[in-house]
Amino acid sequence: MLILGLNGSPQKQGNTVNLLNAALEGAASLGGNTRLLHVSDALKGLVTPFCNNCSPVCEGICAKGNNLGEVFDLLRKADGLIIGSPVYFGTVSAQLKGFWDKSRVLRKEKALLNVIGGAVTVGASRFGGQETTLKAIHDMMLVQGMTIVGDGYLADDAGHQGACGQKPSADDVFGIQRAAIMGRRVAQLAKATMELRRV
């Protein structure tokens, strides 16, 4: 069972990564093999770091023989995916949006269909656009056919949309706790639905 964390922040260490690491630790506690990926690494070296619809039916040309292609190959193997983003003007980072737009080839392949998805986000204030950012991530996942879960777990509570943190997230004990709970939920559902992704 492979559970991936996708860091949509341009920073490889810091607020978003703190929540993603907590979520991945939660997933690992239920037996998930985990790995943290950085969108900034995937986009590095691309001439155009966003989708320009170079072909009406995506052939994945932009993801051949580069970092983006390597990350897409990992996503093709994922049973669970936890996406994190800082709040930028009430929504996801440009880096995450650019990366996800380029994932059209994965949609064509149905590569993420039935993959379990969860989301984490961090804002500068307690009510700084975290829920709208979670909603944007959920919408991105739904278009890939993913199955979305929030931060609820039977041993804890029913949860909400996902894990929201406040900057600095390392000091946000509640946000870290909710991320770990969501990570466990992603792993639990990923394990229970393995057959749906092995067609």
Q: How many domains does the chain have?
A: 1
Residues 129-160 have pLDDT tens digits of: 999 999 999 999 999 999 999 999 989 999 99
119: left (phi over 0), alpha (psi -120 to 50) or beta: beta
28: left (phi over 0), alpha (psi -120 to 50) or beta: alpha
Start-to-end CA distance of the chain, whole Å, equals: 16
pLDDT of residue 198: 72
Calculate mean pLDDT across residues 80-97. 97
Report, in angstroms and rounded to the nearest whole number, the Rg of the chain calculated over CA atoms.
16
Phi, psi of 77 (to 5 degrees): -95, -5
Q: Residue 70 belongs to a domain with what CATH number?
A: 3.40.50.360
Calculate mean pLDDT across residues 75-91. 97
Q: Could you give the CA distance from residue 53 to residue 102 in angstroms, rounded to a whole number?
A: 9
pTM: 0.95
Tokens, residue 100: 């996800």
Q: Could you give the CA distance from residue 105 to residue 161 in angstroms, rounded to a whole number?
A: 27
Calculate mean pLDDT across residues 173-192. 97
Domain that holds residue 176: 2-197
Q: Does position 199 have pLDDT exceeding 70, yes or no? A: no
Residue with more model confidence, 60 or 94: 94
pLDDT of residue 50: 86
Residue closest to 180 by CA, chosen among 160, 154, 139, 152? 152
Q: Could you give the CA distance from residue 4 to residue 78 in angstroms, rounded to a whole number?
A: 7
pLDDT of residue 111: 96
Percent of the chain surpassing pLDDT 70: 99
